[in-house]
Amino acid sequence: MKQKLIAFFKKHPGRAVKARDLAKRLDITSEHEYSSLKALLFSLYEEGFLLREGKRYTLNLFPAENLVTGKLEITRGGFGFVRPDNSRINDIYISGSNLGTAFNGDKVEVSILAVRRSRGKNLEGQITNIVQRKYNELIGTLDKMRSLYFVKPDIMEIHKDIYVLENNLKGAKKGDKVIVGNIVWESPALNPEGEIIEVLGKANTPEIELISIAKEFNLPYKFEDKTLSEAELISDLIPESELAKRIDYRDKTVMTIDPDDAKDYDDALSVERLENRNYSVGIHIADVSHYVTPNTNLDKEAKERGNSVYLVGKVIPMLPEQLSNNICSLVPNQDRLTYTVIIEITPRGKVVDHKIAKTIINSKRRFTYDEVQDIIDSGKGDFFKDVLQLHKFAVILRNKRMKEGSINFFSPEIKFELNDEGIPVRIYQKQIKPSNNLVEEFMLLANQIVSKEVGFPKTHGVIPPFVYRIHDRPDPEKMMDFVKFVKSLGYTIPSVDSLTNIQINALMDKVKGKPEETLINELAIRSMAKAIYSPDNIGHYGLGFSYYSHFTSPIRRYADLIVHRLLFHYTNHGKKKLYTYDLLKETSEHISFTERNAVEAERLSVKMKQISYLRNHIGDEFEGVISGVTYFGIFIKIIENLAEGLIHLRDLEGDFYVFDEKNYSLIGRKTKRTFRLGDKLNVKLVRVDYDRSQIDFTLID
């Protein structure tokens, strides 16, 4: 029986069970056996194999010394949580007094103190050791109080100013944006000390903002000289020997469709009627792999960067401009090398055949999304027959995809109108129109076809190493919280056990155009797993695809460049390996990280521009939605421009408000007035702190 118990708890490490429930599972019916079961459970508890809370037992996941390592995340409230390296252990709460000398993001060692019954199931701990600092250097603004100099870090969660001795200023003056390094912090009772490593310049300028974000996220915003030299040596002349190897599309109508502010064009489309009355659609992708070959400086730096980073008004490209904006960019009226997915599609939109080939194109027209939308709306314009035919197919492909389980998430995108100095003068939400969907559907189709070409077992028998874009099923607990919240807003939605992608889409349709639309979409996306790159294919849950890879953006994503190389290699050399599985796994993990890092940098860039814009709107009133509720206040997202700020608890007058964590609410003790996630409010902007990235509102009754 003891071995059965050990096996059960090892198989269900996160489950807490009572003895009576365990007896049913193990088919124990006699009182004698049940008494033995209880005695054995208590014995395993005393041995430290099990933990006990009330009448429930659960596996003790902690080592004998009760120490756990993990990553620290400090909140605005001054306390933190450690996310353990062991994913089976829940987050560990760390009070402000137990943070020690740890910074936000540090890898730390935690001693477990107790289970915090008052705040759910979180364990409570105390930081006993810093395993690894996240930041060796910090960016911030130099300030002075009396004779003391200190740096206020840009990262809001770095909760301590860094003191700097006068002889370590390196010429920096009050108000300068600086990098502070050689940080020493030996006692939580004192502030950390450091020295100025580099003076970036005057704070609050667009140039310094770019450098600050790049430094904070360790983004290399300058190319190495040897990489630039290599790019400059690449000729834009295409030799006849190369032309002979490719399908020639130069006399066909090929067009690009991109945002009006696009700098590089890595995809193009063409459509033509076939003799059998079907259509041939060409999805043409810049053939970056022809120019960027393995083990060159261009390749090494592209891999290190992982992807381009699109900050507001600026791009930190993956490839030098000579390639990204010139030789590889599918600009109009220039011969360009491409890698093309050619599909044969019936007039009713059924894909009946495909071919993948190296090609050469000469784009006849560079369309913006708005120009294509005008053609869709009016039926007139340049190449209108081709545009309307592509639009018709895109609508059919999209409807089919939705019926088969692709989730139709809406992620609002903010656009900025900047003046000549890079200062935002207008913020607005980008509208998603059918012209956007036109391009998206063909890119999704190409990505799917390429992944199947290599990953489908019938193609090669033994599946060779490849890089897939995968998306795991969502965490049930996160989805449970999402479903509960949606129901609290009055929407009908099935329980997690029976919830399907199609039902999620139905919910997204219901909330369309309502104030809570953005919030519900955001929470749904947060409930999902993160899409990543991997050589192990598990399919893409969000898109509902069994096979999916990234192929269509090799100018800005290293994943696509790798996929181009692998696809061409397997087409021409069979199963012979170009890269080992281990190398592709390491590369996938790296570029998954650089992608997440880029997303965080881009979010910060948007937030900084929102704050820059709002500095000139102190006292203005806005319509907003409650996007977060905490014990210290409520977060408000402005509906018009999606800027997010806080109404502090101290600024909610007329009552004492209590945080109801289970119902995402603050509730007035006397009046019972409730502020709930998703509620619509009118607010006034009262404070903007550019250096600390903080926006404060007050409520307008």
Is residue 423 a contact partner of residue 540, using CB atoms and an 8 Å limit?
no
User: What's the one-letter identity of residue 361?
Assistant: I
User: What's the one-letter identity of residue 633?
Assistant: G
pLDDT in tens, 637-647: 998 899 999 99
Q: C-alpha 541: how far from its chain's center?
A: 16
Q: Predicted confidence band at 62 (pLDDT cuts at 50, 70, 90)?
A: low
pLDDT in tens, 428-479: 888 888 999 999 999 999 999 999 999 887 655 678 899 999 999 988 888 8
Q: Is 632 exposed, middle or buried (0-12, 13-18, 19+ CB in 10 A)?
A: middle
Query: What's the pLDDT at 124?
Result: 84
% of the chain exceeding 70 in pLDDT: 96
User: What's the one-letter identity of residue 357?
Assistant: A
Q: DSSP character for 307?
A: B
Taken in order 35, 41, 45, 51, the sign of the CA dihedral is negative
Query: Phi first, then psi: what are they for 326, rounded to 5°?
Result: -130, -90
Query: What's the pLDDT at 461?
Result: 64
Is residue 375 a contact partner of residue 266, using CB atoms and an 8 Å limit?
no
Is residue 521 a contact partner of residue 410, using CB atoms and an 8 Å limit?
yes
Query: What's the pLDDT at 82?
Result: 92
| Better-scored residue on pLDDT, 496 or 177 | 177
Q: How far apart are CA 590 and CA 269, in angstroms?
A: 31
Question: What topology does CATH give the domain 2-59?
Answer: Arc Repressor Mutant, subunit A (1.10.10)
| Better-scored residue on pLDDT, 332 or 62 | 332
Q: How far apart are CA 555 and CA 322, in angstroms?
A: 11
Q: DSSP character for 327?
A: I
pLDDT of 500 over the 60 cut = yes
DSSP E strands, 19-137: 50-53, 56-59, 67-74, 80-84, 92-94, 107-115, 123-132
Q: How far apart are CA 285 and CA 465, in angstroms?
A: 22
In this structure, the dihedral spanned by the alpha carbons of residues 293, 294, 298 and 301, taken in order and rounded to 10 degrees, is 150
- Compute the C-alpha angle 487/489/493, nearest 5°: 30
Residue 59 pairs with which residues in a beta bridge? 50
Query: What's the pLDDT at 556?
Result: 97
CATH class label, 67-132: mainly beta
Q: What integer is the mean pLDDT of 529-539? A: 95
| Better-scored residue on pLDDT, 632 or 560 | 560
Q: How far apart are CA 562 and CA 551, in angstroms?
A: 9
% of the chain exceeding 90 in pLDDT: 58
Q: How far apart are CA 459 and CA 436, in angstroms?
A: 33
pLDDT in tens, 87-120: 767 788 898 889 999 998 899 999 887 655 444 4
pLDDT of 418 over the 80 cut = yes
Closest CA to 252 of 238, 279, 272: 272
Residue 681 pairs with which residues in a beta bridge? 624
Query: What's the pLDDT at 160?
Result: 86
Q: Across all residues in the chain, what is the average pLDDT?
A: 90
CATH code: domain 138-203 is 2.40.50.140
Q: What integer is the mean pLDDT of 329-336? A: 96
Q: What integer is the mean pLDDT of 355-373? A: 97
Query: What's the pLDDT at 386?
Result: 97
Q: What is the 3-state secondary structure (H, E, C) of 491-542?
A: CCCCCHHHCCHHHHHHHHHHHCCCCCHHHHHHHHHHHCCCCEEECCCCCECC
Closest CA to 363 of 398, 341, 334, 392: 334
pLDDT of 63 over the 60 cut = no
| Better-scored residue on pLDDT, 513 or 580 | 580
pLDDT in tens, 186-205: 888 899 999 999 998 887 77
Query: What's the pLDDT at 120?
Result: 46
Q: What integer is the mean pLDDT of 665-683? A: 91
pLDDT of 14 over the 80 cut = no
Residue 374 pairs with which residues in a beta bridge? none
CATH code: domain 618-699 is 2.40.50.140
Q: DSSP character for 289?
A: H
Query: Phi first, then psi: what are they for 262, rounded to 5°?
Result: -65, 140
